[in-house]
Amino acid sequence: MRAGMGALAGGVAGFLNLLSLKGYNLVNPSAYYGALVGIFIYIISYYLAKGMLNINLLPTDKNKAITQGMLGYVMIFLFIWILYNTFCTLGYCVTI
Q: Is residue 18 part of a domain?
A: yes
Mean residue pLDDT across the chain: 78
What mean pLDDT comes out for the span 54-70? 74
Give me the pLDDT at residue 26, please. Answer: 54
- What percent of the chain is predicted at pLDDT more than 90? 16
Q: Is residue 95 part of a domain?
A: no
Q: Is residue 65 part of a domain?
A: yes
Alpha-carbon separation of residue 49 from 1, 22, 32, 66, 67 (angstroms) = 8, 35, 26, 10, 13
Q: Is 51 exposed, middle or buried (0-12, 13-18, 19+ CB in 10 A)?
A: exposed
Does pLDDT of 43 surpass 80?
A: yes
Instruction: Decide: helix, strand or coil at residue 94.
Output: coil
Split at pLDDT 50, 70, 90, the class of 25 is low
Q: Is residue 96 part of a domain?
A: no
Note down the domain range covering 79.
Answer: 2-90
Q: Is residue 46 part of a domain?
A: yes
